[in-house]
Structure 1
Amino acid sequence: MLTPAGATATTAATLAPWPFPFGSHYATPDLPGIGGVIKQREEDFLVDEQPRYQPVGEGEHCYLLIEKRGLSTQEVVALLARHFRVPRRAIGFAGMKDKRAITRQVFSVHTPGSTIDDFPMLQNDRAAVLWADMHTNKLRLGHLRGNRFSVKVRGVRMTQVLGARIVLERLRTTGVPNFAGEQRFGVRLNNHTLGRFMLREDYSALLDELLAPDPRFPHLNREARAHYAAGDYRAAIMAYPRGCRYECAALNALLKGPNPQKAFEAVDAAQRRFWCSAFQSAVFNRVLMERLEGRPAPLDALVEGDLAWKHDNGAVFAVDAPTLGDPRTTERLRAGEISPSGPVWGAEMTRAAGAPGDTERRLLDEGSVTPEALELFARRMGPAMSGARRPLRVPLIDPEVEGGIDEHGEYVRCAFELPPGAFATVVMREVMKNDAPPTGDGQDAHAEEGEAE
C-alpha cells in the first residue's frame, strides 16, 4: 500500500471515523415495514422520466427518448457518442437513472448541420430509441419535471399490500425524507469517504480506500485488492473486472511511478465530481437524520434561522420570528408548499442561521473538511460543485400500490412520482424497513439512481 506522501497534516490514520450516513431513521417509525427485497430483476424496477418540455421539431440538437435496460446513463452517453461520432460533451441528459432497471429518459445530441435522418438507426440490444425529434437547445441536468417509478417488492406475501398502502398514504400526507439514497455512496458505501480524502488532498489515503482490501466487503475483487496491497499493480489491473475503469485508471498511473496525486488525477473528472457530491450528500443526510430526531425541530416544522424551501419554484427564504408567528406559515407547511432545507455545502450555498446553521457547520466539521476546500474544488471542477440548498422533505405524488403474482412469485408493487433529485429507494426503505446494508454482488460498481443534480 502507498505511503502517505503528499498527505495533509492530519492523515487517514488520525481522522475520526465517518460512518455511512444512514441510520435507522424513518418518517414512519410507528408503521411496520413489509420486508422483502427490490431489484431482483431489471423489470422489477421501472423508471419513466417526466419531461419538463417537448422538442419543437427544429434546431441543432437531436432529442432521443431511449429505453435502456441494464445500462447506466453514462454508458448510454458513451454509446451515443460513438454512434453519432461526437464528443461526450455534445450529449445532454436531464438526470442519472438506475443501471439495474428498465428506464426511459431523453438524451440530446448536438449535431449542427445535420438532422436525425442523416444518421443510421441505433442498433443495441439494451438501448432502444422510442422516438426522435429536433430541438433548439441542449438538454441539461435538472431539465425534467420528475420521475415516475414502479417498483416490485419480492420475498413478501401479496396480502402485505395493505401495510405498504398505509405507509405510502402517510408519506403522501407528510412528505418523504429527502435522503440521498444508498446508491449515491456506492456498492461499498464509501464514495463519501473517497470524497472526504479527495477534498483534503490526502491522495494516498484515497487510493488505499479505493484499491486496498476492505474487511467490510472481503469478497469484492479480493484478488485485485490483494495485488494492490502487495504492490503488484499490473496483476491488480488484470484481476479487476472490465467495468472497474476508475480503479484501473489509477493503477495504470501507478505503474508509471508511485505518485498518489497523479494516480488520482487519472480518474475521470466526472467520477471525481461524483465523490465530492457523495461527501456533500453525507453531510446533508446527517442534517436530515438529526431533523428526524427533532433537532433543532421536527421535519414538518420550521425554527428561526431556517431557510425554507418553496416547492413551486425552488427558491428559499429566511425564517425569522415574524415569519414563524404568521399563521400562513403553518398552513403552507401543512399543505406541503414549503419545507425546511438542508445544506449541499459549497462556496455559493446560502447558509442557514441560528440553531440550524450551527448544526450544519458542526456536521461539516465532523467530516474534517472546510468550506475553503470545497470552494477550491469547485474552482477546479466547475460551478456545478459550488453548493446549493436542498429540501429536507419532498412530496410523494400519485402513489399506487397493488399485490399480485407472476411467473417469479408473489409481489407487492408500489408506483409513485418524485420530483427531480429524489430517490425511489428512500420511499421503498420506508415501506420495507430493512436496515441491513447491501453486501455487494461480486464486483465494484458506480450505481446511479433516477435523479437530477
Structure 2
Amino acid sequence: MRRYFDDERATFGFHQGPKSFFVEEIPATRWSHKGGYLILKLQKRGLSTWQVVDLLARHLDQRVTYAGLKDKNATTIQYLSIPKSGYKALKRFYHPNIQILETFLHNRPLKIGDLAGNRFVITLKHPSANLFALATREAQRGVPNYFGYQRFGPKSLDQARKILDGELFIKDRRLENFLLKSYQSSLFNRWLAHRVLLDSGGFKRLEGDVYQSPRGYFSSPQILKDHIPTGLLPGSRVFLARGRAREIERLYDEALPLAGARREALFFPKDLDVSLGGGKARMEFVLPKGSYATIFLESLIKRELTHKGIK
C-alpha cells in the first residue's frame, strides 16, 4: 500500500546508530532556576531513555522523570528531573555512555510532553543528487505523521491483541501500557495510510475533520486548508470526527482500555539544511514533539524503514 503522496524518490544508505543519528530535545519549559527539583541535561549513547531512568533511579533511590523518550540507537541530549535531595548521590554517578552536561533547579518535576520539539542531525551515505530538492518539497508540502518503527516491537501488535482478547496477562504495567499504545498507534497509521491514498497531490481535507486550536479540538463542516487535520488514537474521552471524515475514522476505531487522543496528520520539518560531500549527506532539521525523523526519511525514499536500515 502506498504510504506517501507520490512515487518520486531519492536514494541513500542509512543505518541508525550513535554516529549517524543525533537528536537534541528543545524544551518547552521556561526554567525557574529555583525550587525543589534538579533538572539534568545529559547526553547518552546506545541506551534507551528507560534504561537511563532505571540506572539513575537505582543509584539515587529517587524517582526520575523525563519529558520524552529517545532512541537507543542514537546519540541524544535530553532532560530528566529528580528531587534536589539527590544531588550529592548524583555526583557519585558514573556510566561510560552517559554524560551529565548541566544541572540546575526547577520548581516542578518534568512530565511527558514538556517539549517544543527535537533537533536532528542525520548522516546518510551515497545520497542521490535530488535529495535536497525532494527534502525541501516534502517539508513544504507536509509529511504524513506516521508513528515510526521505533514505536513497535517485533511482536508488540500480536501481544497487544492477546491482552485485549484476555489471552495474555502482563504484570509489568509499563510494558503492558507500551504494548497497548503500540496497537493504538498502529490503528492511527492504518487510518493515515487510508487518507493518504485519497489524493496524490497532498493530504485531502474532508467535511467533518477535527482540527486543534489553542482552545481545544473542533470539527468543521468547512474544508479548512490552513489547518492540519488530526487523526484518532482510539480510546476513552476523545473528540470524534463527523460526516465523511468520521466514516473513514470509524473503520479504525476500536474500544481500547486507554485514554483516547488525537494526532496531527502531517508534520512540517523546520530549519532544514542538507550538505553534501565525500559521498555523504548531513541532514539537519527540527520536528515537533512526537514526530519521527525516520518517517521524514521514509517520505524521501518511499519505503518503510526498519531497525536494519537501508544499504
Q: TM-score, normalised by structure 2?
A: 0.92
Q: Residues 111-135 of structure 1: CA distance to partner in whole angstroms, max 9, x if unpaired?
A: 4xx2635642431110010000111
What is the distance in 2 between the residues matched to 1:143 and 1:153? 30
Asked if 1:303 corresponds to 2:209, the answer is no
Match of 2:133 among 150, 162, 166: 166
In terms of fraction of residues, the more strand-rich structure is 2
Letter in 2 for 1:100: N
What is the distance in 1 between the residues matched to 2:178 and 2:215? 23
SS of aligned partner of 1:339: coil
Q: Measured at CA, do residues 425 and 53 of structure 1 come closer, stay the same or move farther in structure 2, by a change above 3 Å?
A: same
What is the distance in 2 between the residues matched to 1:314 and 1:64? 32
Task: Kindly indicate whether the alpha-carbon contact (under 8 Å) linking 2:60 and 2:86 is maintained by their aligned counterparts in 1.
Answer: no
Over the aligned positions, Cα root-mean-square deviation in angstroms equals: 2.2
Asked if 1:316 corresponds to 2:217, the answer is yes
1:60 positional shift: 1.4
Task: Kindly indicate whether the alpha-carbon contact (under 8 Å) linking 2:198 and 2:204 is maintained by their aligned counterparts in 1.
Answer: no
1:55 positional shift: 2.6
SS of aligned partner of 1:358: helix
What is the distance in 2 between the residues matched to 1:314 and 1:396? 24
Task: Kindly indicate whether the alpha-carbon contact (under 8 Å) linking 1:153 and 1:411 is maintained by their aligned counterparts in 2.
Answer: yes
Equivalence map 1:25-424=2 (5 Å): 25-27=3-5, 29-39=6-16, 41-86=17-62, 90-111=63-84, 114=85, 116=87, 119-154=90-125, 156-157=126-127, 160=128, 162-186=129-153, 188=154, 190-203=155-168, 264-266=169-171, 268-294=172-198, 300-310=203-213, 313=214, 315-320=216-221, 323-324=222-223, 329-330=224-225, 332=226, 338-364=227-253, 370-371=254-255, 374=256, 377=257, 385-405=258-278, 410-424=279-293
Q: Residues 363-412 of structure 1: CA distance to partner in whole angstroms, max 9, x if unpaired?
A: 23xxxxx42xx1xx3xxxxxxx301111110121111111233xxxx321
Letter in 2 for 1:106: Y
SS of aligned partner of 1:265: coil
1:299 positional shift: 5.0
Letter in 2 for 1:417: V
Q: Residues 154-203 of structure 1: CA distance to partner in whole angstroms, max 9, x if unpaired?
A: 2x15xx2x4211121112211111000012112x2x32232222122122
Percent identical among aligned pairs is: 29
Which residue number in structure 2 is paired with residue 8 of structure 1?
none
SS of aligned partner of 2:91: coil
1:301 positional shift: 3.5
Task: Kindly indicate whether the alpha-carbon contact (under 8 Å) linking 1:42 and 1:70 is maintained by their aligned counterparts in 2.
Answer: yes
What is the distance in 1 between the residues matched to 2:201 and 2:241? 16
What is the distance in 2 between the residues matched to 1:436 and 1:77? 27
Bigger Rg, structure 1 or 2: 1
Task: Kindly indicate whether the alpha-carbon contact (under 8 Å) linking 1:301 and 1:339 is maintained by their aligned counterparts in 2.
Answer: no
SS of aligned partner of 1:196: helix
Task: Kindly indicate whether the alpha-carbon contact (under 8 Å) linking 1:60 and 1:110 is maintained by their aligned counterparts in 2.
Answer: yes
Q: Measured at CA, do residues 149 and 286 of structure 1 come closer, stay the same or move farther in structure 2, by a change above 3 Å?
A: same
Q: Residues 235-283 of structure 1: CA distance to partner in whole angstroms, max 9, x if unpaired?
A: xxxxxxxxxxxxxxxxxxxxxxxxxxxxx333x2111111111111111
What is the distance in 2 between the residues matched to 1:275 and 1:168? 32
Q: Measured at CA, do residues 434 and 413 of structure 1 come closer, stay the same or move farther in structure 2, by a change above 3 Å?
A: farther
Give structure 2 stretches of 5+ with no counterpart. none
SS of aligned partner of 1:195: helix
Give structure 1 stretches of 5+ with no counterpart. 1-22, 204-263, 333-337, 365-369, 378-384, 441-453
Q: Measured at CA, do residues 171 and 121 of structure 1 come closer, stay the same or move farther in structure 2, by a change above 3 Å?
A: farther
1:437 positional shift: 4.8
SS of aligned partner of 2:237: coil
Task: Kindly indicate whether the alpha-carbon contact (under 8 Å) linking 2:273 and 2:285 is maintained by their aligned counterparts in 1.
Answer: yes
Task: Kindly indicate whether the alpha-carbon contact (under 8 Å) linking 2:195 and 2:204 is maintained by their aligned counterparts in 1.
Answer: no
Task: Kindly indicate whether the alpha-carbon contact (under 8 Å) linking 2:42 and 2:98 is maintained by their aligned counterparts in 1.
Answer: yes
Task: Kindly indicate whether the alpha-carbon contact (under 8 Å) linking 1:34 and 1:433 is maintained by their aligned counterparts in 2.
Answer: no
SS of aligned partner of 2:247: helix
Q: Measured at CA, do residues 292 and 46 of structure 1 come closer, stay the same or move farther in structure 2, by a change above 3 Å?
A: same
Which residue number in structure 2 is paired with residue 433 of structure 1?
302
Q: More deviation in 97-106 or 55-64?
A: 55-64
Letter in 2 for 1:55: W
Letter in 2 for 1:84: L
1:435 positional shift: 4.4
Q: Residues 198-237 of structure 1: CA distance to partner in whole angstroms, max 9, x if unpaired?
A: 122122xxxxxxxxxxxxxxxxxxxxxxxxxxxxxxxxxx
